[in-house]
Amino acid sequence: MAEPVKDDDLNPEQTPGFKVGEKKTIDEYQQLDAQDESLRKWKESLGLATGKDLSDPSDPRTCIILALTLETADRPPIVIDLSQPGQVEKLRSEPFTIKENAQFHLKIKFKVQHQILSGLKLIQKFTRMGLSHGQQEMIGSYAPNTADKPFYEVSFAEQDAPGGLMGRGKYNATAKFVDDDKVQHLMFEWSFEVKKDW
C-alpha cells in the first residue's frame, strides 16, 4: 500500500513534539464521553453519527480521490475525473495550459470510508530546468462519508502562475496524498505549461 519515497521534497513535514493519537474505531469515538458537550460538537463536526455509512466493504481503501479541478476566473474549470480508467496516466501525458500571471487554484473531491482519516495532506514537488520546489498543503481530518455527506470537496489557496520569459515553459510535478499515519492514498505525476495566453 504505502511505498517509501526517497525524495525528501515528497515526505510530509514533521512538527516537533506532535504525536499521532491512538487509533480508535468509529464506534469507540461515538461512545467516547457521551456526556461531554464540547466533545459531542467536535464529533458532529467530523460527521460522526450523521447518516448511513457509505463505506464499501469490498474496497479496503480509506481515502479515494475522486476528482481534481483546476479553477481560474478566466476560463471554465478543468475537471479530471479520477474515477474513470486512464485519467491518472493522462495527467502526465496531457499538460494543463495556464496563462502567465493568471490566478488559479486546485480543488479536490474525495471520499473517506471505514475509519476516521487523520491529517490528510497534499505534497507536491515541481521541477523545471533542473530546479525543484516542494509544497505541502494540509487538507484535514475527516470521518467516513455518509448518505448525508457522500463526498468532501476542498479548495486550496489561490496561486499566481509564473510570468515573463523565465516563467513561461513546461513544469513537471509529482504529487501525493498522504495522512498522519504515513499512508499514501494516491501518487501521480502531472505537468502544466505556462504560456502567454490560454
Q: What is the pLDDT of residue 31?
A: 65
- Looking at the structure of the chain, the number of domains it has is 1
> Looking at this protein, which amino acid is placed at residue 158?
E
In a domain, 179, yes or no: yes
Bridge partners of residue 126, in order along the sequence: 133, 173
- Cα distance between residue 175 and residue 188, in whole Å: 6
Please work out, in degrees rounded to the nearest 5, the angle formed at the alpha carbon of residue 197 by the alpha carbons of 192 and 198. Answer: 60
Q: What is the pLDDT of residue 29?
A: 64
pTM score, whole prediction: 0.78
CATH number of the domain enclosing 37: 2.70.50.30
| C-beta separation of 177 from 63 below 8 A | yes
In a domain, 6, yes or no: no
Long-range interactions of 171-175: CB distance < 8 A, separation 24+: 171/126, 171/127, 171/128, 172/126, 172/127, 172/128, 173/124, 173/125, 173/126, 173/127, 174/7, 174/10, 174/124, 174/125, 175/122, 175/123, 175/124, 175/125
Q: What is the pLDDT of residue 84?
A: 92
- Cα distance between residue 88 and residue 30, in whole Å: 36
In a domain, 5, yes or no: no
pLDDT digits (tens, 9 = 90+) for 10-39: 777 667 776 767 777 766 766 666 677 787
In a domain, 1, yes or no: no
In a domain, 2, yes or no: no
In a domain, 77, yes or no: yes
Q: What is the pLDDT of residue 48?
A: 64
In a domain, 56, yes or no: yes
Q: What is the pLDDT of residue 119?
A: 94
139: containing domain: 24-195
Q: Low-confidence residues of the chain, pLDDT below 50?
A: 1-5
- Cα distance between residue 46 and residue 112, in whole Å: 11
In a domain, 8, yes or no: no
Q: What is the pLDDT of residue 5?
A: 43
